[in-house]
Structure 1
Amino acid sequence: MKNLSMKIVSFLKHKSLKFNLILLFLSIEFSTSVAQNYSSVLPFFQDTALLNIKIMAPFESIISDDCKNPQNFQGSLIYFENGNERIIPVELKKRGKFRCNQENCSFPPLFIKFDKKKVKGSVFEGLNKIKLVNCCKIEDKKYETYVLKEYLVYQFFRQLSDTSFATRLLKVTYINSNQPENSMTRFAFVIEDDDDMAKRLNAKVIKASLVSTKDTDSSQRLLVEMFQYMIGNTDVSIPQSHNVKILITNPHQPLLVVPYDFDWSRMVNPPYAKPALEGKIKAQRQFLGECYSDTLLLSTARIFQKKKQNLLNTLRLFPYLSSKERKVMEEHLIYFYKNLDNQKTFFEIFKAPCHQ
């Protein structure tokens, strides 16, 4: 029987993704892990207030660590709660690809891991692991702008869909434990853990190097693709699972697509983005979707149109970005909505894949 099972597994590896998904559901205790109701995010992410924290850790060692096999480093997270200083032990680890490399960014994004028992009763209660997005070049204060812009882009997509990552804005003071007199304070934000996000949606994250878009939910996929067009992001690929997470809710339902990593988008526009994003707002904006029906395109456009004022208010009321930068981001949004409102332009853009 064992040899037969191995042969079945070997056979299925060469078949379609759907066969692999069926195998996945046969091999995991799915009903146990997602039976709970995770309809809302953890309290930490429900609170939208800016959170001030300090992180003390051996940052020199963390920065110089290997990106391919990063180690865990002990650190302390310090914050004030009800007027009292609270210190929580944490583990820190480098993450990412491009931004992890010191040749690209002097300070990497990090994983922060908590001991659930030690955060009980704190603002971090319920969290096990979160992703911290830092300034690429922490020594240059202007890089805060790109962190704040990317945070807003996450907020925009969150307004459009619950099938998205929750985020929270932080002001972090980084203290090198080897030289505690040297510290630096910058804006950063944290992203909901992959598994927490999936549990909230009664789903599982699957890892697949190649995904057939036919196996994904077409309505939700188009929402993601239209959003990527809105922000001017081409650093994404659903078939290659690049900068998207693929979720499965049950073997009889289509897969869901959750986007992340928006820093190379035209709307964020950091200096390290490749190719360099220069020129007018409409430049380097491309719809990377497939050929969709007019009905689906129009119904998806209506989702964006209904949320237009919400997106603009989210941007206009954001106090941490300069008025100049907010204006640039707003110009991107206005340009996108003009394209939605002009039927001829709308179909020229979003029906283009049908003519290729």
Structure 2
Amino acid sequence: MKKQVTNLLLLLFLVVYQISYPQNDLKTAEESKISPLFQSDAILPIELSYSIKDLKKETNDSTYVDSKLKYFSDDEWKTLDVEMRVRGNFRLRECYFPPVKLKIKKAQRKNTIFEEDKKLKVVMPCLKEKGNSDDVIKEFLAYKIYELISPYHFNTRLVDIKLIEEVRNKVKEYEIKGFLIEDFDNVLDRFGGKEVKRKVHPMAQENLNCVRNEFFQFMIGNTDFSTAYSHNQKLMYLDGPVIPIPYDFDLCGLVDPSYGVVSLVGKEPLPIENVTERYYRGFKRGNVYLEQVRKEFLEKRAEVFATMEQYKTYFENEQSYGRAKDFIIGFYNILANDNDFNNLIVARARDN
């Protein structure tokens, strides 16, 4: 009995050490390596001009077209020559405004806020409908919340987009919200990591960051991911452990878009019908990990809601913000209740 207690205490010490000490050090290290573009929380005005029809038709994962990016900085508009292509799968098929990826040559980036960002993703609303920008803000909030959860994350920045669409001989203009996402190469450089492109079973990945990721996905009501198949996840090798880094949260319950459907990664259908129904997709690990991450999330509750409040003014519809806040409150109610936590998280953890 004494030996079991000693082993348990040792495990608890290792878990707490792994979470608190290295994570604080990593936070300090990563902040010193963030590119100038993502060092500011101020919304960045930009202007893009292109034919959506031609962009969908002429570009793919490897084919870009020449374009221009205008941005407002230091009290003036500036212009960069860029290369652009569409990206994504679901949004590319279903959305009027396809998400795009930009590539900026070194000579163009020099002495600008984009100097360290060779590639960038641009997230825009999906459809031309009322409240479309609120969906973008909610997805952006998911990224900002994950910044609080794990040091291993993508940096993002809100943008006010003036999109000039070229349609035959006409021009249509849209004023929409969006955000920029840094390239994964920048994340790897920040930590000195390497990308893992092969499949790695989640149980062979680093325990604590996997649990943080799995709790986060449950928090925002997302099932459109797979750590096992690297769907909406990037894997980083870092001195031994493989660490998952999530992205693309538009189909989650926090966002709850009009086009939202319950995503299925794998063969078995999930027992939910709406994206606002949470379903835990994490794997069985030692309860010490689950309890420690539970504690982490509860301790960060005030920071999470402070972050949401910080971006409240960007919502067009106050009720939209209220629903998003209520959704996160629902998650914290589960964490705070032992029965709900055990029934909805611990008991649903997967074997494979």
TM-score range, shorter chain: 0.7 to 0.9
Q: How has the CA–CA distance of structure 1 residues 282 and 52 changed in structure 2, closer, same or farther, with 3 Å as cutoff?
A: closer
2:61 corresponds to 1:72:
no
Residue of structure 2 equivalent to 1:50: 43
TM-aligned CA deviation for residue 286 of structure 1: 0.9
**1:194 aligned partner, one-letter code:** F
Residue of structure 2 equivalent to 1:274: 261
Residue of structure 1 equivalent to 2:100: 110
How many Å separate the matches in 2 of 1:136 and 1:145?
11
How many Å separate the matches in 1 of 2:161 and 2:209?
34
Residue of structure 2 equivalent to 1:330: 325
Contact 2:155/2:181, CA 8 A, preserved across alignment = yes
Identity of aligned residues (%): 28
**1:51 aligned partner, one-letter code:** L
Residue of structure 2 equivalent to 1:234: 223
- Show structure 1 runs of 5+ residues with no match: 1-36
TM-aligned CA deviation for residue 349 of structure 1: 2.1
Residue of structure 2 equivalent to 1:222: 211
TM-aligned CA deviation for residue 350 of structure 1: 2.2
Which aligned pairs between 1:87-166 and structure 2 lie closer than 5 A? Answer: 87-101=79-93, 104-137=94-127, 139-166=128-155
How many Å separate the matches in 2 of 1:294 and 1:45?
36
Match among 301, 319, 324 for residue 308 of structure 1: 301
TM-aligned CA deviation for residue 333 of structure 1: 1.4
Aligned residue for 2:214, secondary structure, equals helix
Which aligned pairs between 1:180-329 and structure 2 lie closer than 5 A? Answer: 181-208=171-198, 210-250=199-239, 253-275=240-262, 284-318=277-311, 319-321=313-315, 322-329=317-324
Aligned residue for 1:121, secondary structure, equals coil
Match among 320, 328, 340 for residue 335 of structure 2: 340
Which region of structure 1 is more displaced relative to structure 2, 257-266 or 211-220? Answer: 211-220
Residue of structure 2 equivalent to 1:9: none
Residue of structure 1 equivalent to 2:13: none
Q: How has the CA–CA distance of structure 1 residues 172 and 180 changed in structure 2, closer, same or farther, with 3 Å as cutoff?
A: farther
Q: How has the CA–CA distance of structure 1 residues 335 and 281 changed in structure 2, closer, same or farther, with 3 Å as cutoff?
A: farther
TM-score normalised by length of structure 2: 0.82
Residue of structure 2 equivalent to 1:21: none
**1:158 aligned partner, one-letter code:** E
For the aligned residue pairs, the C-alpha RMSD in angstroms reads: 2.4
Q: How has the CA–CA distance of structure 1 residues 57 and 280 changed in structure 2, closer, same or farther, with 3 Å as cutoff?
A: closer
TM-score normalised by length of structure 1: 0.81
TM-aligned CA deviation for residue 88 of structure 1: 0.8
Aligned residue for 1:228, secondary structure, equals helix
How many Å separate the matches in 1 of 2:47 and 2:38?
18
Aligned residue for 1:230, secondary structure, equals helix
How many Å separate the matches in 1 of 2:230 and 2:349?
23
Which region of structure 1 is more displaced relative to structure 2, 320-329 or 240-249? Answer: 320-329
2:161 corresponds to 1:167:
no
How many Å separate the matches in 2 of 1:80 and 1:337?
39
How many Å separate the matches in 1 of 2:286 and 2:223?
22
**1:227 aligned partner, one-letter code:** F
How many Å separate the matches in 1 of 2:326 and 2:274?
8
Residue of structure 2 equivalent to 1:8: none
TM-aligned CA deviation for residue 283 of structure 1: 5.5
- Show structure 2 runs of 5+ residues with no match: 1-28, 264-271
Contact 2:162/2:175, CA 8 A, preserved across alignment = yes
TM-aligned CA deviation for residue 66 of structure 1: 5.6
Residue of structure 2 equivalent to 1:350: 345
How many Å separate the matches in 1 of 2:229 and 2:95?
25
How many Å separate the matches in 2 of 1:275 and 1:290?
20
TM-aligned CA deviation for residue 316 of structure 1: 1.8
**1:115 aligned partner, one-letter code:** K
